[in-house]
Structure 1
Amino acid sequence: MIEIDVGLARANFTLAVKFTAGEGVTALFGESGAGKSTVLHLVAGLLKPDRGRIVVNGTVFTDMAAGIFLPAHRRRIGYVFQDALLFPHLSVRQNLTYGRWFTKAEPNGITLDQVTELLGIGALLDRRPTTLSGGERQRVAIGRALLASPHVLLMDEPLAALDIDRKREIIPYIQRLRDELKLPILYVSHAIEEVARLADRVILMAQGQVKSDGPPQQVLSPKAGPGDDRFARASILTTTKPSYDPDYQLTQVSHPAGAITLAGRLLPQDGPIRVVIRATDVTIALSKPRELSIRTALRGKVSAISEPLGAVVMVEVELEGGEILAAAVTRKAVDELGLGEGDQVHCLVKSVSIDDRLMAIKD
Structure 2
Amino acid sequence: MLLEVHVEKKFADFACRFDFSVSSKKCGVFGPSGNGKSTLMHMISGLLEPDKGLIKLNGTVLYDKEKGINLPPEARRVGVVFQHALLFPHMSVKKNLHYGLKRVTAAEHSINPDQLIRVLQLGGLLDRRVSKLSGGERQRVALGRTILACPHLILLDEPLTGLDHRLKYQIIPDLKRVFAEFSIPLLFISHSLQEMRMMTDEVLVLEDGKVSNHIATEDLARTRLGSGGRGYTNLVDLERPEDTGRLLRYWMGNIPLMLLKTEDAAPGQFALNSRDILLFKKHPEATSARNMLSCVVRKTYQTDWLSGVELDCQGHTLIAEIVPQSLEELDIRPGSKVVAVFKASAFERLW
TM > 0.5 fold call: yes
TM class by smaller structure: 0.7 to 0.9
Counting only pairs closer than 5 Å after superposition, residues 128-167 of structure 1 correspond to structure 2 as 128-167=129-168
Cα distance in structure 1, aligned partners of 2:326 and 2:267: 39
Deviation at 1:139, TM superposition (A): 0.9
Unaligned runs of 5+ in 1: 268-273, 308-312, 359-363
- Secondary structure of 2:63 counterpart: strand
Cα distance in structure 2, aligned partners of 1:131 and 1:119: 17
- Secondary structure of 1:155 counterpart: strand
CA contact (8 A) 1:282 1:347 kept: yes
Cα distance in structure 1, aligned partners of 2:52 and 2:248: 56
RMSD: 3.5
CA contact (8 A) 1:34 1:206 kept: yes
Is 2:288 the counterpart of 1:293? Answer: yes
Cα distance in structure 1, aligned partners of 2:206 and 2:7: 14
User: Which residue in the other structure is 1:36 paired with?
Assistant: 37
CA contact (8 A) 2:235 2:271 kept: yes
Cα distance in structure 2, aligned partners of 1:317 and 1:196: 19
Indicate how the Cα distance of structure 1 residues 246 and 211 shifts in structure 2: closer, same or farther if over 3 A, else same. farther
- TM-score normalised over the length of structure 2: 0.79
Deviation at 1:173, TM superposition (A): 1.6
CA contact (8 A) 1:216 1:236 kept: no
User: Which residue in the other structure is 2:228 paired with?
Assistant: 230
AA of the residue aligned to 1:350: K
Is 2:26 the counterpart of 1:3? Answer: no
Deviation at 1:184, TM superposition (A): 1.0
Counting only pairs closer than 5 Å after superposition, residues 1-363 of structure 1 correspond to structure 2 as 1-8=1-8, 9-10=10-11, 11-23=13-25, 25-220=26-221, 222=222, 224-225=223-224, 229-236=227-234, 244-247=241-244, 248-253=247-252, 262-263=259-260, 264-266=265-267, 277-285=272-280, 288-294=283-289, 295-297=291-293, 298-300=295-297, 303-307=300-304, 313-320=305-312, 325-327=319-321, 334=325, 342=333, 346-357=339-350
CA contact (8 A) 2:62 2:71 kept: yes
- Secondary structure of 2:5 counterpart: strand
Cα distance in structure 1, aligned partners of 2:345 and 2:44: 41
Indicate how the Cα distance of structure 1 residues 36 and 106 shifts in structure 2: closer, same or farther if over 3 A, else same. farther
Percent identity at matched positions? 32
AA of the residue aligned to 1:6: H
- Secondary structure of 2:83 counterpart: coil
AA of the residue aligned to 1:45: G
Cα distance in structure 2, aligned partners of 1:336 and 1:315: 7
